[in-house]
């Protein structure tokens, strides 16, 4: 199974990709997580990306493309993938098409998650993450058992720098300008499927499974 999860930041792509990746045993490859790992490890790419990410901009296409092609090849193209946060520009989508062609494979679909700006801003500003293990929470929707503490590893939770109100606005403008054109790009190819992403995790999972049944993707 080879899927791209598309949609604005905060729409729930990561949450749903993680659940499906576990139930379907398909690698979940999240560009933002991989870039943050590079920042933690202070690699050359991490140093190049740090400032851009903290300000809510996009890391240059050639860096992200090279990083993702290597990640997919290392993970094993034949294992399939759920891509979360890639591609994010038309340049990336075109380069990714060429990569797929070279690997003699194709996508099963592009799942486009939709939610209103109010819901997105609320989700991003209420998000708390564990810097240690990457655990993901929301102060109301997905609260940890003990306030401010990661359920998985017991370390303190923090707010991502790019989840501050001004940076959220900038990320949403960037999404509209750079990423939203991919909706038309993939829909012209006939690969795009929309999912309403505003409801709770259980309801949205149900919609995704109904969609997978319809388009014959096995869960
Ligand atoms: P995310 O965790 O998906 O919200 O990504 C966090 C940040 O990483 C984004 O705001 C960008 O700065 C950067 N990033 C993630 N994916 C990409 C991409 N495909 N192209 C460029 N920058 C990206």
In 54-175, DSSP assigns E strands to 81-84, 109-114, 127-130, 136-138, 157-158
Options 3.40.50.150, 3.40.50.720, 3.40.50.300, 2.40.30.10; CATH of 2-114+180-215: 3.40.50.300
Three-state DSSP state, 29? strand
For 214, the token pair is: 């319809």
DSSP-derived 3-state class of residue 57: coil
Please provide residue 119's backbone torsions phi and psi, each rounded to the nearest 5 degrees.
Answer: -65, -40
Cβ atoms of 204 and 192 closer than 8 Å: no
Domain boundaries along the sequence of the chain:
2-114+180-215
14: left (phi over 0), alpha (psi -120 to 50) or beta: alpha
The reported pLDDT for the residue numbered 219 is 58
Q: 13 CB under 6 A from ligand 1? A: no
Question: What's the pLDDT at 216?
Answer: 83
Which ligand 1 atom lies nearest to the CA of residue 174? 10
Ligand 1 and 88: CB distance under 6 A:
yes
Nearest-angstrom CA–CA distance, 77 and 72 = 6
- H/E run at residue 195: strand 192-196
Q: Specify the pLDDT at position 131.
A: 83
**pLDDT value of residue 58:** 96
The two tokens of residue 204 are: 């949205």
- Ordered per-residue pLDDT tens for the chain, 219 residues: 999 999 999 999 999 999 999 999 999 999 999 999 999 999 999 999 999 999 999 999 999 999 999 999 999 999 999 999 999 999 999 999 999 999 999 999 999 999 999 999 999 999 999 988 888 899 998 999 999 999 999 999 999 989 998 899 999 999 999 999 999 999 999 999 999 999 999 999 999 999 999 988 865
Ligand 1 atom with the shortest distance to the CA of 31: 16
pTM, to two decimals: 0.93
């Amino acid at each position: 199974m080879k899927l791209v999860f598309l949609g604005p930041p905060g729409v729930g792509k990561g949450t749903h990709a993680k659940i499906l990746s576990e139930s379907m045993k398909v690698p979940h490859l999240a560009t933002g997580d991989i870039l943050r790992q590079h920042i933690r490890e202070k690699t050359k790419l991490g140093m190049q990306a740090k400032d851009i990410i903290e300000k809510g901009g996009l890391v240059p296409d050639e860096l992200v493309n090279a990083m993702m092609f290597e990640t997919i090849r290392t993970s094993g193209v034949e294992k399939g993938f759920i891509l979360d946060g890639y591609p994010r520009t038309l340049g990336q989508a075109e380069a990714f098409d060429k990569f797929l062609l070279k690997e003699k494979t194709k996508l099963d679909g592009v799942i486009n998650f939709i939610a209103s700006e109010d819901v997105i801003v609320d989700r991003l500003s209420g998000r708390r993450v564990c810097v240690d293990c990457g655990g993901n929470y929301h102060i109301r929707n997905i609260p940890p058992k003990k306030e401010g503490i990661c359920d998985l590893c017991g370390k303190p939770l923090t707010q991502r720098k790019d989840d501050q109100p001004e940076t959220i606005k900038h990320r949403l403008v960037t999404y509209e300008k750079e990423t939203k054109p991919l909706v038309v790009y993939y829909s012209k190819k006939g690969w795009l499927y929309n999912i309403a992403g505003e409801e709770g995790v259980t309801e949205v999972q149900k919609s995704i499974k109904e969609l997978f049944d319809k388009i014959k993707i096995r869960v």
